[in-house]
Amino acid sequence: MGSWLIAPVVALAAFMEIMDISIANVSLPHIAGALSSSQDESTWVLTSYLVTNAAVMPISGWLSARFGRKRFFLACISGFTVASLLCGLAPNLAALVLLRAAQGAFGGGLQPVGQAILTDSFPPEKRGMATAIYGIAAVVAPTIGPTLGGWITDSYDWRWIFFINIPVGLAVFGLVSGLIHERVRSRDSVKRSSMDWTGFGFVALSLGCLQVVLDRGQEADWFSSPFVTALALVSALSFVLLIWRELNTQDPLVDVRLLLDRNFAVSFGLMLMLGFMLLGSTYLIPAYTQSLMGYRAVDAGMVLTPGGMIMIALLPLVGRSINKVDLRLLIAVGLMGGGSSLLWMTNFYLGISFGWLVLARMLQAASLAFLFIPINTLAFRDVPRGKTDNASALINLARNFGGSIGISFASTMLTRREQFHQSRIVELLQGMNPAYTEYAHHLAAALGTRPDSPATLAAVYRNAVQQATLLSYLDDFKMLGLVFLAMLPLLLLVRPGTGGGRPAAVH
């Protein structure tokens, strides 16, 4: 019974941290106005959080082993809660950026340590349901964050998007203190592991610089910017040095040797793509409804909410099937469902109804339930108990960075494809094209103007831009779907079996 009490408590801590990644997105204009800064400057509120979060997450396994899992988890909860309070009280943008960096650093341990606690608290045959509870936090939180953030900012004040963490953090701290017990390790084991500052420097540089590149690359036009190019080179060099360092040290900060296991390596790649699709599509759908259909932020968020409800309903059902069905089959269903739903979104048009938008998102969300639990189960199926913290750090890092890559990819492709389609459409807007001449006359009649009047030409251009934007969104959905379906062959590399490692029952 104690284990089932631990699961929702640990999931709530992860939910609080994951939601905080996205909750501030829609509040940036309000933050910029209140703190007398530009919109571009205010985006560092997001970047600073993601950079420190990315630097701490992969070493959370080592920190748990060094200081004790429970002690480290409580330190992360308390630090995150205090940082949230101070973020809400920040007097200027510089202070808010620094405090968000602190909040991201403390939050970096909440996801991996929480999942490691869940994994070790349940025997293999019961981990499916425990992972389902954790999945509600990991998969649903990113879809709720923007909606909740927009509602809080519109109804109250942007500072409350940070203040709401305080009661949750205090409650989780008390519950974790009372529910989770950890065996005290000997002093010798504590002294044996000293901090590898060189390795940590490579971790911080490789992942921190990569996060800045992903977060700021589109605004700076990627590698045409010397700043982005330099950061990308530093990240690549640091990553190579990090791999070399960790493979040649006895007590690695990041246990990259886990990736030598075929099942874990495939799980890492699949989890990366899960984050890629989840956050990439979560970015695209609200942007589509707001930019092309005139939805308010709250209404755009409501398109995502029913999908979250579907995930909450399906996750326990998938959790129950983990020990009965081959994991490869469950993952294949998720990949095909997710890819097909994204390809179906290429049928969106400007007059599509709210109901069809919700249905499309619900179908996509349903596929995520068949991915999150089986991928996590596959990742930990052959991992020794002593390596759980390190494995959890890598898997959660994959999902987070997959999300960052997905958002960056979607926004970049959206801009590039819009430029492409706009140039192609404009080529057709000339008098030698009979279709254009007919269209201009119909539009002029509707407006009560002449076909060559400024008002008519302006309306033609607005419609051309709108159509180009629509086509760019459809291209994005198509590419996300194809990339997702392309992951199916990876399942051929996975050893067959259920969540407990047994072959699936044959009837």
pLDDT band at 475 (very low <50, low <70, confident <90, very high): very high
Containing structural domain, residue 43: 1-193
Return the number of other C-beta atoms located less than 10 Å from residue 188's C-beta.
7
Higher pLDDT, 501 or 262: 262
Q: Look at residue 507 and tell me whether its pLDDT is greater than 70.
A: no
Could you tell me the pTM of the whole model? 0.78
The answer to whether residues 216 and 166 belong to one domain is no
Predicted confidence (pLDDT) per residue in 178-237, tens digit: 777 765 454 444 445 566 777 778 888 888 888 788 877 777 778 788 888 898 899 899
pLDDT in tens, 53-108: 878 888 887 788 777 888 888 999 999 999 999 998 888 888 998 998 899 889 88
**Domain termination site, one of 176, 193, 210:** 193
Whether residues 125 and 240 share a domain: the answer is no
Whole-angstrom Cα Rg for the chain: 24
For the chain, the average pLDDT equals 81
Residues 32 and 181 in one domain: yes
173 and 293, same domain (yes or no): no
CB 373 within 8 A of CB 271: no
Same-domain pairing of 150 and 218: no
Q: Are residues 227 and 288 in the same domain?
A: no
Out of 234, 250, 266, pick the residue that ends a domain: 250
Is there a contact between 88 and 160 (Cβ–Cβ < 8 Å)? yes
Question: Is the separation of the CB atoms in 55 and 105 below 8 Å?
Answer: yes
Higher pLDDT, 295 or 192: 295
Assess whether 166 and 268 both reside in one domain: no
Q: Is pLDDT at 296 greater than 90 in this prediction?
A: no
Q: Are residues 220 and 276 both part of a single domain?
A: no
> How far apart are the C-alpha atoms of 28 and 20, rounded to whole Å?
13
Among residues 304, 363, 385, 375, the alpha carbon closest in space to that of 140 is found at: 304
Q: What is the pLDDT of residues 339-392, one digit of tens each?
A: 999 999 999 888 888 999 999 989 988 888 888 888 888 888 877 777 777 788
Q: Confidence class of residue 506 from pLDDT cuts 50, 70 and 90?
A: very low
From 173, 193, 213, the end of a domain falls on 193
* pLDDT value at 44 more than 50: yes
pLDDT at site 502: 53
Over 70: is that where the pLDDT of 52 sits? yes
Q: How far is CA 490 from CA 16, 134, 173, 262, 502, in A?
A: 32, 25, 40, 10, 20
Same domain, residue pair 185 and 323: no
User: Left (φ > 0), alpha (ψ -120 to 50) or beta: where does 90 sit?
Assistant: beta
Same domain, 444 and 433: yes
CATH number assigned to the domain comprising residue 438: 1.20.1250
Q: Which pLDDT belongs to residue 188?
A: 43
pLDDT band for position 500 (50/70/90)?
Answer: low
- Give me the DSSP letters along 133-192: HHHIIIIIHHHHHHHHHHHHHHHS-TTHHHHTHHHHHHHHHHHHHHH---PPPPHHHHHH
Report pLDDT digits (tens) over 418-432: 888 888 887 777 767
Asked if pLDDT for residue 505 goes beyond 50, the answer is no
* Contact predicate 311/369, CB 8 Å: yes
Please report the pLDDT score of residue 1 as a whole number: 46
Work out how many domains the chain is built from and give that number.
3
Do residues 134 and 244 both lie within one domain? no
What is the rounded average pLDDT of the residues 397-420?
84
Average pLDDT over residues 243-265: 81
Q: Which two tokens stand for residue 58?
A: 């992969």
Q: Is the dihedral of CA 88, 13, 389, 257 positive or negative?
A: negative
Q: Please report, for the domain that includes residue 86, its CATH number.
A: 1.20.1250.20
Count the helices and strands in the chain (H runs, E runs). 22, 0
pLDDT value at position 142?
76
Residues 238 and 380 in one domain: no
